[in-house]
């Protein structure tokens, strides 16, 4: 996933944090058609996530998760969604998460 005329990708990685973002442009107008990011939940004070939420507020964006659930640029609303996610469940107890795969509908 590299940069080209219609996409710009950004990543920061260290032993403490792994955040990334991507901007995709419309080929004709070169206006932003999609902006996506992934915030590392291990980051102290969740600075990257909070900054993305502030950017969303300033631009009147809605956020959506991988399941398509729409959310306002509101920290509390987004945190609740994160706490109900598979990623969060895995981070908190990977063994329990793996043991429960396939048992969601039972």
**DSSP secondary structure, 79-98, as one string:** HHHHHTSHHHHHHH-HHHHH
Helix (H, G, I), strand (E, B) or coil at 29: coil
Q: Alpha helices, DSSP H only, in 3-100?
A: 47-58, 75-83, 86-92, 94-100
Reported pTM: 0.78
Q: What is the pLDDT of residue 17?
A: 92
Q: What is the pLDDT of residue 103?
A: 78
pLDDT digit string (tens) for the chain, length 106 residues: 568 889 999 998 998 899 999 999 999 999 989 999 999 988 989 999 999 999 999 999 999 998 899 999 999 999 999 999 988 899 899 999 999 887 765 5
Q: Could you give the CA distance from residue 38 to residue 20 in angstroms, rounded to a whole number?
A: 5
């Amino acid at each position: 996933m590299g940069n080209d005329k219609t996409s710009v990708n950004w990543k920061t990685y260290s032993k403490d944090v792994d955040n990334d973002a991507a901007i995709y442009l419309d080929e004709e107008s070169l206006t932003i058609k999609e902006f996506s990011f992934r915030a590392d939940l291990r980051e102290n004070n969740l600075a990257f996530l909070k900054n993305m939420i502030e950017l969303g507020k300033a631009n009147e964006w809605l956020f959506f998760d991988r399941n398509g659930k729409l959310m306002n640029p509101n920290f509390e609303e987004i945190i609740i969604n994160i706490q109900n996610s598979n990623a969060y469940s895995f981070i908190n107890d990977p063994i329990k998460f793996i043991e429960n795969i396939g048992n969601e509908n039972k």
